[in-house]
Chain A
Amino acid sequence: KQEVTQIPAALSVPEGENLVLNCSFTDSAIYNLQWFRQDPGKGLTSLLLIQSSQREQTSGRLNASLDKSSGRSTLYIAASQPGDSATYLCAVKTGANNLFFGTGTRLTVIP
């Protein structure tokens, strides 16, 4: 059964710092991996989607990498801003029809 783990569970950084969020998954037979952002009381906003054949995806200050064989992904946020404060969720899609989610990393960027 697929299990997704995110470390750390919470992270506080001063504004301007670069940071890395980690995601690991137990079954490497995935179709893709998505990183989401969730603000308190809100839904999920898709940030980046990496297909299983890809190694990384970039969008603005965000860069996500995927190492399928080792079951790992990282989300790199450059020059963090207070507006980046949110919970970041990693999810993988396997042969099943659904996404398997990690429990998230709660990020606080301190002005």
Chain B
Amino acid sequence: GAVVSQHPSRVICKSGTSVKIECRSLDFQATTMFWYRQFPKKSLMLMATSNEGSKATYEQGVEKDKFLINHASLTLSTLTVTSAHPEDSSFYICSAPGLAGTRGEQYFGPGTRLTVT
């Protein structure tokens, strides 16, 4: 099946700094990728849809200036958490849709654990 990777798997940063998380589709091209945030004991919440060659689409309530998304190529999307604060500590997961016609099926990366101190 399709493989999605994320880097880094864990990152600790100081409050006020920025952190970049990479999401790559390893054996297929993805014009769209999704970024989720997973809170402890809670669901995955969709943050934004990353679109290759155009601006990301953010879900309601997600600060686009804080969570910068860049879909640099057909295999890479990045999420930058700017001016990080302890409340941004979370598990961030990216995904890419399956082949055309799979209607919502997604392939998920392993996630990135961000801790802001």
Pairing of A with B: no
Interface residues of A (CB under 8 A from B): none
